[in-house]
């Protein structure tokens, strides 16, 4: 049997694509997810920016009902790691770990991305308890408080500017004395009064107690240690896109990508390959939020319904 649609990844993007494709009339849709459905938000202890959900809720509580809602409309779910997606003629082949394959007329991929860790002591221990990689997600928890930002690229500077509007002070910790960012952004950083530049310095350790982070120790190029008392540390040292399934045997990508390894899509989530749609954190210009990933899944699903209809009728 050839699937109408194969969905790769069961985060907010993939699950929403599953809901909209099945509810929209496609009968043979399978979502391939290597772990528990729900995606990376399952690791979050608190989410308060999903519209309509008021009060404290964990990522797991938010996501738990999503698979059940999809199953009600006929979405099938297979727990397996997908190693590669290929296309020959109009048919996609989904290569599963272990050697089995599935075939599909269309594919919606939403395998997400993973923020890189900076690698200092305490980073893993306090991740989600004061250490964050998302200012849009967690900045509000530090409203009126002081925070530290680690990094010197575009994302670090943009996020520092975002945090400076919410927090009383932002310490921007960067290991060099110049930034790898647009001159205009650097100029905005320099004229923002509540951003203090901590240059030529690298984080040594984030420390805290059972309530969370209480501070960060940084070492400058002369070996001097500075102790900065903050309840929040935001690290922006790069992001790895989970695009491995798109890599072909010859090392090329199945569809067009940008230099950061993100999938190039148009506003309907259409990639350069007919029948292949990319959604959520892995696509270009992704806001990296649950609500936007879910929105992408819905948009892609509506495209798939017309694509499959046109292909088969
Ligand atoms: C700690 C934390 C806190 C956050 N807080 C917020 C917040 O407050 N608000 C907010 O809106 N967003 C928040 N985010 C961001 C949000 O989680 C992401 O933007 C969103 O989950 C992206 O959804 P996605 O479906 O694109 O990808 P993901 O959620 O990353 O889902 C991708 C799925 O694909 C699966 N997968 C990957 N590769 C394969 C493969 N080869 N085969 C099969 N399956 C595969 C993964 O297991 C995963 O389940 C937070 C993220 C983290 C980590």
Per DSSP bridges, beta strands 113-115 and 29-33 are unpaired
pLDDT, tens digit, 9 for 90 and up, residues 21-38: 999 999 999 999 999 999
Tokens 């910790």 locate to 173
Is the beta carbon of 67 within 6 A of some atom in ligand 1?
Answer: no
Give the whole-angstrom CA distance, residue 156 versus residue 145.
18
Looking at every residue in the chain, the average pLDDT score rounds to 96
Query: How remote is the CA of residue 161 from the centroid of ligand 1, in Å?
Result: 24
Rg (CA), the chain: 21
Would you state the pLDDT for residue 45? 80
Whether the pLDDT of residue 132 is over 90: the answer is: yes
Is the beta carbon of 35 within 6 A of some atom in ligand 1?
Answer: yes
Q: Are 13 and 31 in contact (CB under 8 A)?
A: no
Q: Do domains 2-115+239-312 and 131-235 have the same CATH topology?
A: yes
With cut-offs at 50, 70 and 90, classify the pLDDT of residue 55: confident
pLDDT, tens digit, 9 for 90 and up, residues 159-185: 999 999 999 999 999 999 999 888 999
Give the whole-angstrom CA distance, residue 115 versus residue 11.
16
Query: How remote is the CA of residue 110 from the centroid of ligand 1, in Å?
Result: 9
With cut-offs at 50, 70 and 90, classify the pLDDT of residue 301: very high
Residues taking part in catalysis: 134, 137-138
Give the whole-angstrom CA distance, residue 293 versus residue 279.
6
Structure tokens at 215: 């501070």
Q: What spatial distance separates the first Cα and last Cα of the chain, rounded to whole Å?
A: 17
pTM above 0.85, yes or no: yes
Give the whole-angstrom CA distance, residue 157 versus residue 175.
14
Residues 33, 236, 220, 215, CA torsion sign: negative
**Which atom of ligand 1 has the smallest separation from the CA of 115?**
53
Would you state the pLDDT for residue 56? 79
Domain boundaries, the chain: 2-115+239-312, 131-235
Q: Are 115 and 239 in contact (CB under 8 A)?
A: yes
Query: How remote is the CA of residue 226 from the centroid of ligand 1, in Å?
Result: 34
3-state secondary structure the chain: CEECEEEECCCHHHHHHHHHHHHCCCCCEEEEECCCCCCHHHHCCCCCCCCCCCCCCCHHHHHCHHHHHHHHCCCEEEECCEEEEEEECCEEEEEECCCCEEEECCEEECCCEEECCCCCECCCCCECCCEECCHHHHHHHHCCCEEEEECCEHHHHHHHHHHHHHCCEEEEECCCCCCECCHHHHHHHHCCCCEEEECCEEEEEEEEECCEEEEEEEEECCCCEEEEECCEEEECCCEEECCHHHECCCCCECCCECCCCCECCCCCCECCCCCEEECHHHECCCCCCHHHHHHHHHHHHHHHHHHHHHHHC
Which of 3.50.50.60, 2.60.40.10, 3.30.465.10, 3.90.230.10 is the CATH number of 2-115+239-312? 3.50.50.60
Would you state the pLDDT for residue 44? 84
Query: How remote is the CA of residue 205 from the centroid of ligand 1, in Å?
Result: 27
Is the beta carbon of 108 within 6 A of some atom in ligand 1?
Answer: no
* Polymer length of the chain: 313
Instruction: Tell me the angle at which helices 12-23 and 65-72 cross, rounded to the nearest 10 degrees.
Output: 20
pLDDT, tens digit, 9 for 90 and up, residues 244-299: 999 999 999 999 999 999 999 999 999 999 999 999 999 999 999 999 999 999 99
Is the beta carbon of 187 within 6 A of some atom in ligand 1?
Answer: no
Q: Are 212 and 126 in contact (CB under 8 A)?
A: yes
Architecture of domain 131-235: 3-Layer(bba) Sandwich (3.50)
Is the beta carbon of 10 within 6 A of some atom in ligand 1?
Answer: yes
Q: What percentage of the chain has pLDDT greater than the value 70?
A: 100
């Amino acid at each position: 049997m050839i699937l109408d649609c194969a969905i790769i990844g069961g985060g907010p993007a993939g699950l929403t694509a599953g809901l909209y494709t099945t509810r929209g009339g496609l009968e043979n849709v399978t979502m391939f997810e290597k772990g528990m459905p729900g995606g990376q938000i399952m690791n979050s202890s608190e989410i308060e920016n999903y519209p309509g959900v008021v009060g404290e809720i964990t990522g797991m509580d938010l996501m738990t009902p999503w698979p059940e809602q999809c199953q009600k409309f006929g979405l099938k779910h297979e727990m397996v790691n997908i190693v590669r997606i290929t296309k020959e003629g109009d048919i996609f082949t989904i290569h599963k770990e272990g050697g089995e394959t599935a075939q599909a007329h269309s594919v919606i991929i939403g395998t997400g991305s993973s923020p890189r860790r900076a690698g200092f002591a305490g980073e893993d221990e306090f991740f989600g308890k004061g250490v964050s990689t998302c200012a849009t997600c967690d900045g509000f928890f530090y409203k009126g408080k002081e925070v530290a930002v680690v990094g010197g690229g575009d994302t670090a500077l943009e996020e520092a500017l975002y945090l400076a509007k919410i927090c009383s002070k932002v310490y921007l910790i960067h290991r060099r004395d110049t930034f790898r960012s647009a001159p205009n952004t650097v100029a905005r950083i320099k004229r923002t009064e509540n951003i203090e530049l901590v240059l030529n310095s690298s984080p040594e350790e984030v420390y805290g107690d059972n309530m969370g982070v209480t501070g960060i120790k940084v070492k400058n190029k002369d070996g001097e240690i500075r102790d900065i008392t903050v309840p929040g540390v935001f690290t922006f040292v790069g992001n790895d896109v989970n695009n491995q399934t798109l890599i072909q045997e010859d090392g090329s990508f199945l569809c067009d990508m940008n230099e950061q390894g993100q999938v190039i899509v148009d506003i309907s989530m259409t990639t350069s390959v007919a029948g292949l749609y990319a959604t959520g954190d892995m696509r270009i210009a992704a806001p990296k939020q649950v609500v936007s990933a879910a929105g992408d899944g819905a948009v892609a699903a509506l495209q798939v319904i017309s694509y499959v209809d046109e292909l088969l009728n």
